[in-house]
Structure 1
Amino acid sequence: MRIFLFLIAASAPAMASAQQAPPTQQPSAAAAAEPVISDEPDIIVEGQRNLPGAVIGDIPPEQQLGPSDIRSYGVSSVADLLTELAPQTQSGVGGPPVVLLNGKRIAGFREIRDIPTEAIARVDILAEEVALKYGFRADQKVVNIVLRRRFGAVTGELTDRIATEGGRNAPQAELDLLKIRNSGRFQLHSEYKSSSALTESERAIAAPVAGGTASAFDQRPFRTLLPFSRELQTNAVYARNFGNVSATFNGAIESSESKGLNGLPGATFLVPATSPFATGGAATSVSGVFDGSSFVPLAQNSRSITGHLGTTLNGAIDGWQWSLTGAYDHVDTRNFSDTGFDATAYQARVAAGDPIANPAGPFARSDLAARFYNSGSSVSNAGKVDALINGSPFSLPAGAVSTSLRLTGETTDLSSRSYRSGLIQSGDISRQRGNAQINIDLPITSRSKGVLAAIGDLSLNGNAAIEQVSDFGTLTTYGYGANWSPVKGVRLIGSVSDQDEAPSAQQLGNPVITTPNVRVFDYVAGTTATATTISGGNPFLTADNRHVDKIGLTLKPFDQTDLTLTANYTRQHTDNPIAGFPTPTAAIEAAFPTRFTRDEAGNLLRIDTRSINYARTESSNLRWGINFSKRLTSKIQKEIEAYRAGTGPNPFAGMSFPGQRRRRDGADDQTPPGGTTPSGARSANAGQAGAPTQAGQGASATPQAGEGPPSEEARGGGRGGLRGFGGRGGGGRGGGGGRLQFAVYHTLHLTDTVLVAAGGPRLDLLHGDAIGQNGGQARNEVEVQAGYTNNGLGARLSGNYMQGTRVNGGTPANPTALDFGSLTTFNLRLFGDLGGRLEWVKAHPFLRGTRVTLSFDNLLNSRQRVTDAMGATPVSFQPDYLDPLGRSIRLSIRKLFF
């Protein structure tokens, strides 16, 4: 916070002397040019508070996307759009954003994830402090999605993704039905996808020699880099108003399965000195692998079924807004892992000196007894009720005070059962949670109200929460912050938060799973080991405490240019943080010796990778970025503008549309439904059949952005009208033509340390230490996005850069250092909204509502390079292990039927 106060003091004189402007919170240039489509006449509202579906409070969006901005991303659903917006919605402390619908809370992301992007009128991206008003923590940005008032379409999409190096393809099919009318909404979405297995033999993985020289063979065909997977899901949403209360009901069911291969089984045999297979007449041990001609590889199977029910109620009482959400989730998961065969009888033959019992093989299936396996299963049931009320209890001279109160109740039950090495273990974790949180915003100064106007707009906020967890006791959270806009286009936000967090029921009670034949780099030995890993829940985890200080600056320097600059400095430290088990360096093994099992020769045999508590983590970073968007005029838009001015022909002449009228002479009326002739154009277009007119108060009866004729809602909701090129309401106004967009975000990690346990060691992830499998923490990370769309065609390029690191993970006696090279990757997506090409639609009407997309993921087939001191790549860090898929091509065909 000292940095925050310094910046305020340093910038106050210059900003206070700047020209003062009324505190109208205007949307971005893109959104202002693209008003929300509704059934009322076309009115462009300049004030943010008055925009339909706006969020609570006085903090304007950092970014605001209109329909053409959304189209420029060339994606299909809300889930896809949020993936594209990830660089803009990432908080300084990480974590996904809070997602709202029409300025209101939702019961869960399933409620909106499958909504087609054509149904979206506006997207607002807001700062973390807005999350407090909705009862969430102040470390998540907020994304508010505003839907069109009318929309209707059936959407089908077929996709296939293949790796350019072969070996894997992933087909996918989706079918969606959505209808929106005013406050009502119904959606039914089904999706199926599968991915074929990718084995080591289908990539450039070095082939280790297995077994003795007489039975050496290639195991790579029996080990998967990526497992086979299959998933089927169906999601249904129904929303409507009951009087003054809006209600949403959501139900979903998902089924998934996967199968991976972990190589062929084997065994280690003790060979006595008297055996004919003893080497040099001395007792020894020999490891044999059971040949693939007689044995099937070790398989690991996983299946799960997930069911979800959710509901959301929103209403108002005497100026106070309230919401009530409820959710119930059921998850049934089962895992089955082969671990080998019983070789006890064969060992007895070797010990007895049987001349045909060669410990190096070959082996017959009759030589071995029962097959060994491990299994695990869990059933989780979770129910949650969440109530929020917000409003203004009183006003101050600078404005109304805003308060929100949130009450949450949750119950979770997790039962698990595992069978491992002949031992059956079962567990049952039941947890009840109750949470109460309050937030308050106090306006201190205001330019519009003349309260200390020279300072600008300044408000303070505070929040506190108390949570009772049945198996952890009382946990607390508190936070406070300031929101200051000294002049128009400049905003500074500072916040402090402190939160206790208990481990989840899954982190505590998931079944124990054993996976054999996992290749792990052993820093102590400086070699790659083939070991058995143990994963699952850890019942000994404790709650953590996280403290975060953050200051953010947002600049919008130009009124007429959609340019946004943001910078965020974040510092956090966490006591007893919960984390996955780190990479097995010498320091980690010294801190957790019971998690490692080695044989007498020091070979790594087993690692327990279940979650742990560190003693403390500390980190700080500076993340800044630029986002620029420019509106482009499309060909069809120019033709429409010329037609409106009376200087050009009707661009829709000769086209036929659903619901089109017939003239008395039997000929098609070439007028897009709902229009006659625009003002000033009748004389220039005399004799043309039905030139369109402007309906209502400036409501355009002609389409924008090459999306075709006007939608039903563009004409004020009249009957018999065209249902738009993007589905009902999918055409409409506000298209705004094409878009040119560019964004770059740079994260500079200043500090990142981990105190593994009380008394040490302390790991510096920026200077030679690591807790992850991909090296230490990169000092610099860069995300870049660029997009162009116009005349129905578009391209988007995204890139990511991560600076290289060095890991010193060995012991003083055996120092081992690995260099993890920098990594730069690019993704390219080309798409064509064929309905936006008017000349194509005239010739082929079925193209209306069709989009074809061709994507290249990891365009340059880049993979991180890891080398040791000799410049060699360790076996477990081969490039195809780090990124098995490599470059892939995805082709998608999507069609809206309406």
Structure 2
Amino acid sequence: MMSRSTAAGAALALIALTDAAAAQEAPAIASAPEPQAAPAIGQQSPADEVMGEDIVVTAGALRGSVVSDIQPDLVLNPADIRAYGASSLEDLLSQLSPQTSSGRGRGGEMPVVLLNGRRISGFQEMRAIPPEAIARIEVLPEETALAYGYRADQRVTNFVLRPRFRATTGEVELGAPTAGGRHDLEVQTSMIRIDNDNRMLLDFKLERATSLLESDRNIRQTATSLPYALGGNIIAPVNGDEIDPSLSSLAGQTVTIAAVPASAASGAPSLTDFANGANAPNNTDIGRYRTLSPETLDVTGGASLTRPLSGNVQMTLSARLTASSSESRLGLPTTDVALPAGNPFSPFASDTRLVGYSGVRGPLVRDNDEWSGRLAAAFNGDVNGWRWSLTASHDHDESRTLIDRSLDVSESQARIDALDPLFNPFAVNALNGPLNQDRSGSNTDRSLVEAVANKKLLDLPAGGVSTSFKLGLDHRDLNSYARRDGVEQETDLKRTQGTAQMSVDIPLTSRRRDVGAFLGDLSLNGNFETDQYSDFGNLITWGGGLTWRPIEILQVIGSYTSEQGAPTIQQLGNPLITTPNVRVFDYATGETVEISRLDGGNADLSADRRQVWKLGGRINPIKGTDLSLQADYVKTRISGPIASFPTATAEIEAAFPERFLRDGDGQLLLIDNRPVNFARSDKSELRWGFNFTEKLEPSKAEQAAMAARRAELEKLRAEAQASGKPIPGVPAWMQQQRPQGMPGSPPPGAGPGGPAGGPPRMAMGSMGEGRLQLSLFHTWRFTNTILIRDGVQELDLLNGSATGSSGGVSRHLVEARAAINKNGLGARATINWQSGTDVLVNPGGAASSEDLFFSDLATVNLRLWADLNQRFGLIRKAPWLRGTRISLGVDNLFDQRLSVHSRSGDTPINYQPDLIDPVGRRVEVSIRKLFF
């Protein structure tokens, strides 16, 4: 049985360690002061004077703030962060996607990420940092990115670390769909040490997922052009013709197909043997030979080290290695051999064909193996009022792909034609030969150096004129090869890009300086960038805008950007890969067919020009509450947009007939899926919503219990100090008497985070507190059109046209988040809804039976967790559970899938629910342990 002193000691350690998040916590900022020069690196910021979750700012800006007069759209303190239940910054950033997404980018970009208000060499430098090490998160508008040398098309997320923190974390996660068929495992661990400007991070992650087969779901198979089956079938030389009049006479009907009898494997069959299978062919469900989701393995490991080089210069070195592999099953190889009438194993009077599947080598597969490595360095400092950064990185990536296409049975055909009496074509695995395979691979290298400096160059009546300058050099080298049908193709592409960028922010009015105060705070900004490409010449980006704060609670931002963009080196030179047996819906015939798909680069791509208009605003309407309303209207026009080749609609095929290959009967055989330039695209949308956070104060009973526990533990500590004996199970630094009036303050000389890099102490005031968080964002798309080529009809993706296989573009998208966290127990719900779309054969014209209708879709993800560190009674009984968190997650809680049907109500084979979303509802359980 645990002794009283040991149990109390464990509880004392719990109080010092449980809420490590409380030592440096910052509240959400209703109105931040006008930013001032940040403290030099290595100096103690006034923001380090903390108590509980309240920051006491004695002078200057908050530690780690960004260089901008623009106010954040969202600020989170540690208690807010805990309400997300995240395991790492990567996980946390994913959950913040509704707040960090932007409509001004090209799509798919992650936000600009800063660390302590400084540039980093890349997100890999910090992705494994535990959320407990974060003191504050700021999400800012796109215009903030200009001050850091980025384009104003991505929101900025600034993570501010605690001055001191140390921990080792380990997490194991198991997941599986409730429908079964697949399971996945994730194991990750990290070690972090933070002591002001000294920082070290090591991390490792392994992810493994088994394959999910079509046989694990209710999948109707696609009808094949020929009656392939294991065991084989006999047909006439022209499929559908009569095989043999004698066989028809025996069967009493015209026979066009006959199953190969099982007895034929051991000897020559008779005509009577085939009569038993007349017009009743062998069938094979090949679902167990095709994957819905591949088997995957991903391993990654990284390290980063940060050290001060002098009083105001900081260096970070980082490295990362990643390896991944995947294997997909593509079905069984088919065989089709001619069986002459004179063959000793053929009972037929005329020539026939033997068609079937071959199982001798198992299914056709697609294997992909890839590894990548990255070395990076970042230097940040301040000199003569200039805040500067220098980042350098080198990335190397190698990828290898092997695809089985078909089985070469030419040798078997030769023996059949030679009437070889020893070769029975009906024998098990008789039709065999080497696999025809496509091989491809690529090696990619990228070296990047960027230097950024910003400063307020001069002071105007309304404030300082902020300027930012960037110079960059980017070199890429892509070597790729592809071998198809014995023909080798090699590509060697190199690109060097030089970049120069400048931005300026000019204040026009200021309430603080009483310059045009009746207008509030008004500033103009402008930016210019030139990119010199070795293969595309000079491309220009420029823009400007205004930021207006007429009153303290309201901020309005308007901007315009004109940008020229070159295709990526991968879009130009990726190796050509042909994947067989790919299901697509052929809108021309209204059927789902299996085709070969050609992927790779397109050397004929040209640069595009993008113009973006934005008007947005944010308001905090109710004083004293953490409620913010936000709205952004964005309009985008792109001339010559670069895009992956769209889905096979009639409109697309009419515009790109050379990209489709059909046989004489109109059957679709191949689609060239390489990227293309469209003529023009136009988009406009309004995204609006709110963020709300409410602090849940501890109840009177919780406050009383905590006061009693504190008194008991302080008494125990005093007794231990009087006797000279340490409290069992408690580090020595925790056993020192706290100064009066400062609960949770460190021992003399220890600093705000505990002695010499130890875990941060906690302030008792945060015990029992919780958070309620709500956010809701609605995206309303007004236009989304594409002109494929001049002279053809414009595609309206909101009204009947499509470029992707999942329908048109939803006019409405809703993202809702709700979370509650108190006393270590938390729950978070993520709700996404999108409106339905139509894909019409003749948009704006007559109805067609091939028109498709895609339903709306609502999905709910639920995450529950218990932070045992805050369950005091349990920890007193089982101290070894300290730092443990148990989580249960359910993705797609109600197992919803997109529903697709034609005008007649039928669902095309390619749009079966289990093909659209084979996983469905997925449950995961994770256990995370934090060692301080």
**SS across alignment from 2:186:** strand
Amino acid aligned to 1:650: R
Alpha-carbon distance in 1 for matches of 2:841, 2:367:
33
Amino acid aligned to 2:315: A
Alignment of 1:229-378 (within 5 A): 229-243=296-310, 244-268=312-336, 288-292=355-359, 294-346=360-412, 364-378=428-442
Cα deviation digits, residues 598-649 of structure 1 (max 9, x gap): 1111111111111111111101000001111000124699437973xxxx45
Alignment of 1:91-240 (within 5 A): 91-93=102-104, 94=107, 95-208=109-222, 211=228, 212=233, 214=259, 215-240=282-307
**SS across alignment from 1:394:** strand
Alpha-carbon distance in 2 for matches of 1:660, 1:182:
34
Q: CA RMSD in A?
A: 3.3
Alignment of 1:541-556 (within 5 A): 541-556=605-620
Amino acid aligned to 1:831: W
**SS across alignment from 1:156:** strand
**SS across alignment from 2:572:** helix
Assess if the C-alpha contact under 8 Å between 1:738 and 1:789 holds in 2: yes
Give the deviation of 1:785 after TM superposition: 0.3
Match of 2:596 among 523, 532, 556: 532
The verdict on how the C-alpha distance between 1:321 and 1:630 changes in structure 2, with shifts beyond 3 A counting, is same
Give the deviation of 1:712 after TM superposition: 9.9
Give the deviation of 1:535 after TM superposition: 1.0
Instruction: Report the counterpart of residue 896 of structure 1 in structure 2.
Output: 930
Alpha-carbon distance in 2 for matches of 1:758, 1:751:
19
Cα deviation digits, residues 262-301 of structure 1 (max 9, x gap): 00011455789999999999999x6833243x33100100
Instruction: Report the counterpart of residue 8 of structure 2 in structure 1.
Output: none
Give the deviation of 1:172 after TM superposition: 1.1
Instruction: Report the counterpart of residue 11 of structure 2 in structure 1.
Output: none
Instruction: Report the counterpart of residue 16 of structure 1 in structure 2.
Output: none
Instruction: Report the counterpart of residue 267 of structure 2 in structure 1.
Output: none
The verdict on how the C-alpha distance between 1:601 and 1:453 changes in structure 2, with shifts beyond 3 A counting, is same
Alpha-carbon distance in 1 for matches of 2:486, 2:705:
78
Assess if the C-alpha contact under 8 Å between 2:613 and 2:635 holds in 1: yes
Give the deviation of 1:494 after TM superposition: 0.4
Instruction: Report the counterpart of residue 499 of structure 1 in structure 2.
Output: 563
Alpha-carbon distance in 1 for matches of 2:756, 2:365:
60
Instruction: Report the counterpart of residue 820 of structure 1 in structure 2.
Output: 854
Alpha-carbon distance in 2 for matches of 1:351, 1:48:
94
Give the deviation of 1:757 after TM superposition: 1.4
Match of 1:729 among 739, 756, 760: 760
Assess if the C-alpha contact under 8 Å between 2:46 and 2:56 holds in 1: no
Give the deviation of 1:369 after TM superposition: 3.0
The verdict on how the C-alpha distance between 1:48 and 1:668 changes in structure 2, with shifts beyond 3 A counting, is closer
**SS across alignment from 1:507:** helix
Assess if the C-alpha contact under 8 Å between 1:675 and 1:692 holds in 2: no
Instruction: Report the counterpart of residue 461 of structure 1 in structure 2.
Output: 525
Amino-acid identity (%): 41
Instruction: Report the counterpart of residue 918 of structure 2 in structure 1.
Output: 884
Matched, 1:405 2:469: yes
Amino acid aligned to 2:388: W
The verdict on how the C-alpha distance between 1:169 and 1:392 changes in structure 2, with shifts beyond 3 A counting, is same
Assess if the C-alpha contact under 8 Å between 2:164 and 2:754 holds in 1: no
Alignment of 1:664-743 (within 5 A): 664=723, 666=725, 668=727, 694=740, 699-701=742-744, 716=752, 719=755, 723=758, 728-729=759-760, 731=762, 735=766, 737-743=769-775
Give the deviation of 1:352 after TM superposition: 8.4
* Structure with larger Rg: 2
Matched, 1:584 2:584: no
Match of 1:773 among 805, 812, 816: 805
**SS across alignment from 1:64:** strand
Alpha-carbon distance in 1 for matches of 2:648, 2:345:
36
Alpha-carbon distance in 2 for matches of 1:630, 1:178:
31
Instruction: Report the counterpart of residue 426 of structure 1 in structure 2.
Output: 490
Match of 1:809 among 833, 836, 841: 841
Alpha-carbon distance in 1 for matches of 2:701, 2:85:
19
Q: TM-score, normalised by structure 1?
A: 0.87
Cα deviation digits, residues 685-705 of structure 1 (max 9, x gap): xxxxx985555xxx5427xxx
The verdict on how the C-alpha distance between 1:23 and 1:301 changes in structure 2, with shifts beyond 3 A counting, is closer
Give the deviation of 1:746 after TM superposition: 0.3
The verdict on how the C-alpha distance between 1:662 and 1:700 changes in structure 2, with shifts beyond 3 A counting, is closer
**SS across alignment from 2:80:** helix
Q: TM-score, normalised by structure 2?
A: 0.84
Alpha-carbon distance in 1 for matches of 2:356, 2:749:
70
Cα deviation digits, residues 840-872 of structure 1 (max 9, x gap): 211111121111110001111111011112211
Alpha-carbon distance in 2 for matches of 1:598, 1:247:
59
**SS across alignment from 1:69:** helix
Alpha-carbon distance in 2 for matches of 1:441, 1:629:
32
Give the deviation of 1:711 after TM superposition: 9.9
The verdict on how the C-alpha distance between 1:83 and 1:675 changes in structure 2, with shifts beyond 3 A counting, is closer
Alpha-carbon distance in 1 for matches of 2:665, 2:456:
71
**SS across alignment from 2:685:** strand
Amino acid aligned to 2:903: A
Assess if the C-alpha contact under 8 Å between 1:660 and 1:672 holds in 2: no
Assess if the C-alpha contact under 8 Å between 1:134 and 1:388 holds in 2: yes
Assess if the C-alpha contact under 8 Å between 1:711 and 1:732 holds in 2: no
Instruction: Report the counterpart of residue 788 of structure 1 in structure 2.
Output: 820
Instruction: Report the counterpart of residue 628 of structure 1 in structure 2.
Output: 692
Cα deviation digits, residues 425-481 of structure 1 (max 9, x gap): 000001100000000000000011010100000000000000100001010000000
Match of 2:682 among 609, 613, 618: 618
Amino acid aligned to 2:710: N
Assess if the C-alpha contact under 8 Å between 2:744 and 2:762 holds in 1: no
The verdict on how the C-alpha distance between 1:438 and 1:715 changes in structure 2, with shifts beyond 3 A counting, is closer
**SS across alignment from 1:392:** strand
Alpha-carbon distance in 2 for matches of 1:711, 1:228:
53
Alpha-carbon distance in 2 for matches of 1:636, 1:276:
95
Assess if the C-alpha contact under 8 Å between 1:38 and 1:713 holds in 2: no
Give the deviation of 1:92 after TM superposition: 2.1
Assess if the C-alpha contact under 8 Å between 2:374 and 2:393 holds in 1: yes
Amino acid aligned to 1:878: Q
**SS across alignment from 2:723:** coil
- Higher RCO, Cα 8 Å, sep 6+: 2
Assess if the C-alpha contact under 8 Å between 2:336 and 2:354 holds in 1: yes
Give the deviation of 1:44 after TM superposition: 2.9
Amino acid aligned to 2:308: N
Match of 2:510 among 436, 439, 446: 446
**SS across alignment from 2:808:** coil
Cα deviation digits, residues 187-210 of structure 1 (max 9, x gap): 110111110011000011114565
**SS across alignment from 2:518:** helix
**SS across alignment from 1:451:** coil
Instruction: Report the counterpart of residue 832 of structure 1 in structure 2.
Output: 866
Give the deviation of 1:668 after TM superposition: 3.3
**SS across alignment from 1:59:** coil
The verdict on how the C-alpha distance between 1:546 and 1:714 changes in structure 2, with shifts beyond 3 A counting, is farther
The verdict on how the C-alpha distance between 1:670 and 1:655 changes in structure 2, with shifts beyond 3 A counting, is farther
Alpha-carbon distance in 2 for matches of 1:845, 1:418:
59
Alpha-carbon distance in 2 for matches of 1:84, 1:544:
32
Gaps of 5+ in 1: 1-20, 28-34, 677-689, 703-709
Give the deviation of 1:24 after TM superposition: 3.8
Count of residue pairs the alignment pairs up = 834
